[in-house]
C-alpha cells in the first residue's frame, strides 16, 4: 500500500502533466489524496477481515469459521433450578414458559409432568432456562431457496440474532404441519456427518446448527430438506445474569406448584454407617456459560478444518472432548498409557480437563455418554476422564515501586494469561519474575519467593505433569521509593 505522501506526489505529477495550476488544484490534490488513501486503507482492512487469524471483528471470525463448518459456540443461558411440589397436575414441554416476570422469564429445559401425590413433603428439582427475551419460534414451509440450508429469520426475512445453544428443530415428513417430528441438533459437524436415519431403530439424523454472524443459526439436514415440507425452529435467545436481581427468585410463583426447601437425611457416601443431612433450597441457579471467546476461535476452527471433522487418530480425542463439553470444559489434554503403566489393565487414553468456572463439573453420566458415543472412533476403546489437579503455589513478593499504586491486577493478569489454569505448560519462575519486573511503576523486586505444599519442584524449567495445572496465589508487599 502506498503512503499518503506517495499518492499525493503521484497526483501532483498527473496534475502537472495536464498543466493544471493554481490553489484550487492543490486543494483538489489534497482532497483526492485523502479519498484514495482512505479507500486503500478500507480495502486493506476488508482483506484482513477475510482471514480467520487476522480478522479483528467477531462477525468476520464467525463467517470464516462457517467456511470450514465450525459452528462457534453460542453460549448457554443461566439455569434456574426449582425444587417443586406439585399441588395440581402440571404438564410442560421443552422451552414452554413456566414463569413470566418483569425482568426475566423462565422456560423449561426439559419436558416435565407431575401430579399431586397426596403428601405435603414430596418435592423434586426441575431445571429451567432463564432468559430476558421471548423464545424465537418460527414455522416455515421449505422452498427451493432453503432446501439445502434453512436460516432462522424473523417475519421480515432478517436473520434472528443472538440465539443461544438451546435450540429445538421439528421437521415434517409430508407437506403438512401435522406430522412434525423433533430432530436432534448438534454443532459438531462430524456428529452430523456420521448420523443417519433408521426408522426401525428410532434413529434420526442430527441437524447441524451452524452459527452465522450475529449469532444466528443456519440449519442443515442430511440429504437436505424436502421442498414443500415444514420446519419449526424454537430457540432460546441468549442472555446473561447481568441485570437480573436474584433476590426476586424468592418471589417466583407458578400456578399448581409450590417451591419448597427440603431437608433429607441420607447415608454418608464416605461412611455408610453415618447419615448426613442434605438441604435443597427452593431456588438455586448456575450463571450463564459465555459464548466462545475471540482468542480461542482461530485455534479451534483451524483444528476442526484440519481434521476435516473426521476423528482420524488418537490425538483428535482432545478436539472432540473439548468440543462436546464446550459448556463445561475450559481446556483439556490427554496421555496415552500402555497396558501395565500407571495401573491400567489395557491400553488407555486418559483425558485430563480443567472445568469452566461457575459451571457444573463433568459427572459420571457425561463420562459414560462420551465413552459409549465416541469410544468406537478410537483404536482402543478404553478412555478415562479425570479432572486435572491443581498445584497450589504461594507467591510472596516485596516490590519496590515508584508510585503508591497497586499492581495486583497486572500481576493477576500475567498469571492468568501465562501460567494459571493451563495444561501442559513449562513453568519458569525467572520468566514470571521478569514479566513482573517489566510492569509500569515497578522499579525492582526485592523479594520473590515461591512455595508449595505439593512435591512439585519449582526450580528451573518445571514441566507440569499431564494432569496438573498451576494455581499461583500472589501476595504483594509494596515499598515506595520515589
Partner 1 sequence: MRLFFYNKVDDITIFHNARLLMESAYKSGRLDLKTADFLNSVKALEDPVRDFIDLYFKDQGVSISDMDKRYIINRLYAAKGGVEIFNVMEDTFGAPGGDASGGIEFKVGYKYEFPDLTEVCFNELKVSDLEMFLSSFERMVYVLLFYDKIKFLIEHLTLRLTGTLKQYILVSATPYTIINTQEVE
Q: Which residues contribute to the site for partner 1 (CB under 8 A)?
A: 2, 6-7, 10-11, 13-15, 17-18, 20, 24-25, 28-29, 31-32, 35-36, 39-40, 43, 46-47, 50, 66-69, 144-145, 147-149, 189-190, 193, 208, 210, 212, 218, 220, 222-228, 308-310
What contacts 5, CB < 8 A, 6 or more positions away?
A: none
Kindly tell me which of 195 and 333 has the beta carbon lying closer to partner 1. 195
The count of other CB atoms within 10 Å of the CB of residue 364 is 8
- In whole angstroms, how close is the CB of 307 to partner 1 at the nearest point? 9
The count of other CB atoms within 10 Å of the CB of residue 14 is 12
Kindly tell me which of 1 and 365 has the beta carbon lying closer to partner 1. 1
- In whole angstroms, how close is the CB of 145 to partner 1 at the nearest point? 8
- In whole angstroms, how close is the CB of 264 to partner 1 at the nearest point? 49
Kindly tell me which of 22 and 118 has the beta carbon lying closer to partner 1. 22
Kindly tell me which of 50 and 479 has the beta carbon lying closer to partner 1. 50
Kindly tell me which of 26 and 121 has the beta carbon lying closer to partner 1. 26
Strand ranges, E, within 101-215: 105-108, 112-114, 124-131, 136-141, 150-151, 163-172, 180-183, 185-186, 207-212
- The conformation of residue 464, written as its DSSP 8-state character, comes to P
Kindly tell me which of 198 and 402 has the beta carbon lying closer to partner 1. 198
Instruction: Give the torsion through C-alpha atoms of 301, 307, 309, 312, to 10 deg.
Output: -150
Distance from C-alpha of 101 to C-alpha of 106, rounded to nearest angstrom: 8
E strand or H helix at 306, and its extent?
Answer: helix 297-306
- In whole angstroms, how close is the CB of 327 to partner 1 at the nearest point? 24
Which residue has 459438531 as its cell numbers? 188
- In whole angstroms, how close is the CB of 361 to partner 1 at the nearest point? 32
- In whole angstroms, how close is the CB of 37 to partner 1 at the nearest point? 10
- In whole angstroms, how close is the CB of 38 to partner 1 at the nearest point? 9
> Is 143 in contact with 153 (CB distance < 8 Å)?
no
> Is 466 in contact with 389 (CB distance < 8 Å)?
no
> Residue 462 phi/psi, 5° resolution?
-100, 120
Distances (CA, A) of 248 to 121, 253, 281, 476: 24, 11, 15, 39
For every residue of 319-349, DSSP letters joined together read HHHHHHTTTTEEEEEEEEE-TTGGG-SS-EE
- In whole angstroms, how close is the CB of 370 to partner 1 at the nearest point? 20
Kindly tell me which of 221 and 422 has the beta carbon lying closer to partner 1. 221
Kindly tell me which of 32 and 259 has the beta carbon lying closer to partner 1. 32
Amino acid at each position: 500500500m502506498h503512503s499518503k505522501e506517495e499518492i499525493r506526489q503521484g497526483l501532483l505529477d498527473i496534475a502537472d502533466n495536464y498543466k493544471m495550476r493554481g490553489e484550487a488544484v492543490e486543494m483538489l490534490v489534497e482532497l483526492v489524496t485523502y479519498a484514495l488513501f482512505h479507500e486503500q486503507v478500507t480495502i486493506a482492512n476488508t482483506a484482513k477481515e477475510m482471514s480467520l487469524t487476522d480478522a479483528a471483528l467477531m462477525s468476520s471470525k464467525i463467517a470464516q469459521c462457517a467456511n470450514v463448518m465450525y459452528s462457534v459456540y453460542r453460549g448457554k443461558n443461566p439455569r434456574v433450578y426449582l425444587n417443586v411440589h406439585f399441588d395440581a397436575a402440571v404438564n410442560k414441554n421443552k422451552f414452554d414458559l413456566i414463569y413470566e416476570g418483569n425482568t426475566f422469564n423462565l422456560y423449561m429445559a426439559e419436558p416435565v409432568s407431575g401430579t399431586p401425590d397426596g403428601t405435603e413433603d414430596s418435592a423434586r428439582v426441575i431445571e429451567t432456562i432463564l432468559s430476558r427475551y421471548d423464545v424465537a419460534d418460527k414455522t416455515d414451509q421449505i422452498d427451493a431457496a432453503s432446501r439445502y440450508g434453512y436460516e432462522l429469520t424473523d417475519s421480515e426475512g432478517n436473520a434472528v440474532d443472538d440465539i443461544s445453544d438451546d435450540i429445538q428443530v421439528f421437521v415434517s415428513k409430508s407437506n403438512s404441519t401435522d406430522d412434525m417430528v423433533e430432530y436432534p441438533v448438534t454443532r459438531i459437524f462430524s456428529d452430523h456427518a456420521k448420523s443417519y436415519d433408521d426408522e426401525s431403530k428410532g434413529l434420526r439424523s442430527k441437524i447441524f446448527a451452524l452459527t452465522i454472524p450475529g449469532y444466528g443459526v443456519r440449519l442443515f439436514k442430511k440429504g437436505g430438506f424436502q421442498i414443500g415440507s415444514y420446519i419449526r425452529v424454537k430457540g432460546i435467545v441468549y442472555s446473561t445474569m447481568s441485570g437480573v436481581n436474584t433476590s426476586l427468585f424468592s418471589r417466583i410463583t407458578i400456578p399448581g406448584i409450590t417451591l419448597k426447601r427440603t431437608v433429607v437425611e441420607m447415608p454418608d457416601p464416605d461412611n455408610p454407617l453415618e447419615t448426613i443431612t442434605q438441604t435443597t433450597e427452593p431456588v438455586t441457579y448456575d450463571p450463564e456459560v459465555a459464548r466462545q471467546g475471540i482468542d480461542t476461535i482461530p485455534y479451534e476452527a483451524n483444528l476442526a478444518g484440519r481434521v476435516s471433522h473426521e476423528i482420524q487418530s488418537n490425538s483428535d480425542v482432545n478436539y472432540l472432548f473439548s468440543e462436546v463439553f464446550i459448556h463445561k470444559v475450559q481446556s483439556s489434554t490427554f496421555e496415552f498409557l500402555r497396558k501395565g503403566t500407571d495401573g491400567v489393565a489395557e491400553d488407555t487414553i486418559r483425558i485430563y480437563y480443567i472445568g469452566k468456572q461457575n459451571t457444573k463439573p463433568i459427572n459420571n453420566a457425561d463420562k459414560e455418554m462420551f465413552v459409549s458415543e465416541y469410544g468406537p472412533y478410537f483404536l482402543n476403546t478404553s478412555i478415562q476422564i479425570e479432572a486435572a489437579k491443581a498445584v497450589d503455589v504461594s507467591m510472596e513478593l516485596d516490590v519496590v515501586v515508584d508510585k503508591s499504586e497497586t499492581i495486583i491486577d497486572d500481576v493477576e493478569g500475567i498469571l492468568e494469561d501465562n501460567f494459571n489454569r493451563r495444561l501442559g505448560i513449562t513453568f519458569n519462575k525467572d520468566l514470571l519474575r521478569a514479566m513482573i519486573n517489566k510492569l509500569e511503576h515497578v522499579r525492582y523486586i526485592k523479594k520473590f519467593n515461591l512455595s508449595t505444599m505439593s512435591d512439585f519442584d519449582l526450580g528451573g524449567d518445571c514441566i507440569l505433569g499431564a494432569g496438573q495445572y498451576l494455581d499461583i496465589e500472589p501476595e504483594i508487599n509494596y515499598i515506595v521509593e520515589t
